[in-house]
Each structure stands twice: as structure tokens, then as C-alpha cells.
Structure 1
Amino acid sequence: MADLEALETWLSPLLQKLDGRGRAQLARKAAQELRRSQQQRIRAQVNPGGSPYAPRKPRDLRGKKGRIKGRMFEKLKMARYLKTKGSPQAAVVGFTGRVARIARVHHYGLKDRAERVAPEVRYSSRELLGVTDREKEIFWEAVANAMGL
């Protein structure tokens, strides 16, 4: 968090030189790059700190045992659900609609029901969104390119 505050302090004078339209364009571009990076990290099943996601719990469906096919959050990472928004004040990446609730439950490790009739289950915490050092570098590069540095 302190890194982001230091970044904001350093960027404020530079961003004041841009007009509102330029700041909005820079924010949109930064948000799109951030979304791309978040999608790659979700695809790799890795938390922002670099640790892998907690594995799924094994399932026993009426005596049938088998492997779980596919990766977690395969559809959540799609641009259809992971939206970006850029304005002169902020660049935002987040989930929308019903998937926002699902993402929040998994991100924070909350309790939820998989189905209406299913019992409540506490999910393991799997951080879907977060800023890594690489993403900070991407943001610095986007600002530097926009400012002509």
C-alpha cells in the first residue's frame, strides 16, 4: 500500500501536465494492460504474491471418483466478466454482475453455497486480483510512454 501512495505522490505533478482527455486515455490503456496481466496470472493459477492457488477439494459424487477437469476460474478471466474502466481520476479493473459475488467469495475465502440446496462451504482464499511488482513496472512504462520520457 505504501508503494502505491509513493507512486501517487510521484505521478501527481506529471499527470497534472496532461489534460483530462490525456489522463483518461492513459488510465484506459493502463487498465487494459493491468487486465491482461491479471488474466495471465489467473490462467497460471497463481496469487499476486507468487504462491499457487489452494487446490480444489476432492469431490466424491455418489461413489464416483475422477479427476476434476479444467482449471479454476476459466471463464472469470474473460474480458466479458473482468471489466476495465479508465477516467481522468482512476484506472479500474474488476468483476461485474453475478460473477463479482463469486469472485469476492473466492478472493477473500468466504462461506457460500455452490447451489441453493447445497450446504454452506468455506472456500479457500485465492486472490484473483492484486498488483504485483511486474504490474507496477507495466504501469510505470505506460506512464513513461504517455509522458514521452
Structure 2
Amino acid sequence: MSERDLESFERWLEPLIEKLSPGERRQLARQIARENRISQRERIKAQRNPDGSAYQPRSALRGQSGSIRRKAMFSKLRSARYLTMSAGPDAAVVRFMGRVASIARVHQLGLRDRVAPGGPTVRYPQRELLGFSRADRERIRDNLIDHLT
């Protein structure tokens, strides 16, 4: 989702949300954050970017026995321990916590980082772990409409 799309979505939501009491906004934000965390977790599990494209596969990393690891990327990052949510009357937030937040940031933005402490520096391909897909925006809109009616 581009920043312009997100801004227009916010402009559409803002007047509707302002009509709610702080308690109702907190309840709505918590529901949206919970569903958004589930959506992000499932999308990460499917190895997909918000636009539906597949993550760029990792390069062939060889283990000690010489075999190529074929496990899915980010299996621990999507757990509730690291992918957390918080909600208040003014915001609903889904984010990564702890050390994994920096790992997620490197992949989200496609930055350079060390493979291991003291190891070589590598530019990681951009893999959008968090983001809004069209289905996410529609679900948020539907939740808001259901809450208002």
C-alpha cells in the first residue's frame, strides 16, 4: 500500500472514528489490532508481500552437514511472543518486539546487515513483513461499519 493510499484511507476513517467515545474507540482498535495481527501472521506464514507477490527466496544457506535449509522464513517471528499488538483510543498497533524487531526492519526495508556477529555484511532483499493488503483495508472498513451500526 502506498503512503498516498494510506493517507486517503485515514481521511475517510477519521470523521467516523471521531464520533465514537474513547471506550468504544479502544474496543474497536483492539478488535482491529487482533484481526490485523492474525492477518499479518497468516501472510508471513504464506511467504507473501501485502501486494500478493511471493517473498524473494533466500539464497542457498548451507548447514554443517552441507545440505540446504528449506524451512520457511520467519517461523518464530510470527509467534505472539514477537508479533505483538496494542490498542488505545487513538491507535491500534501491530509490531515486532525485542531483538527480532531489528531483524524484521532489515527485511522490511531491504537493508544491509551482518549474517552473524563478526560475519560478512549482506544486503537482504525487501520482504514486507507488515503492511496493509486490499483485504486488510476492506476488513477494517467492514469492522468500522459493523461497530457503528
Give the TM-score normalised by the residue count of structure 2: 0.91
Q: What is the aligned partner in structure 2 of residue 11 from structure 1?
A: 13
C-alpha spacing 1:86/1:58, structure 2 compared with 1 (3 Å): same
Determine the structure 1 residue equivalent to 2:85: 84
| 1:4-39 deviations in Å (ceiling 9; x for gaps) | 222222222222221001101101110111111101
SS of the equivalent of 2:95 reads strand
User: Once the 2 structures are TM-superposed, how far is the Cα of residue 61 of structure 1 from its aligned partner?
Assistant: 5.0
Between the aligned partners of 1:34 and 1:2, the Cα distance in structure 2 is 20
Task: Tell me, in whole angstroms, the C-alpha distance in 1 between the residues paired with 2:25 and 2:63.
Answer: 53
Matched, 1:55 2:47: no
| Change in CA separation of 1:70 and 1:60 when aligned onto 2, cut-off 3 Å | closer
The answer as to whether partners of 2:62 and 2:68 remain within 8 angstroms in 1 is: no
> What code does the residue aligned with 2:130 have?
L
C-alpha distance in 2, partners of 1:44/1:102? 19
* Aligned residues between the structures: 147
Determine the C-alpha separation between the residues in 1 that align with 2:57 and 2:135: 25
1:76-115 aligned within 5 A: 76-115=77-116
- Distance in 2 (alpha carbons) for counterparts of 1:129 and 1:66: 31
1:142 aligns with 2:130: no
1: CA distance, partners of 2:129 / 2:123: 17
Counterpart for residue 39 of structure 1: 41
Gap regions ≥5 residues in structure 2? none
- Runs of 4+ deviating beyond 3 Å: none
TM-score computed with the length of structure 1 as normaliser: 0.91
**Cα separation, partners in 2 of 1:142 and 1:80, compared to 1, 3 Å:** same
Q: In the alignment, residue 58 of structure 1 is paired with which amino acid?
A: A
RMSD value, Cα: 1.5
Aligned partner of residue 23 in structure 1, secondary structure = helix
Gaps of at least 5 residues in structure 1 are none
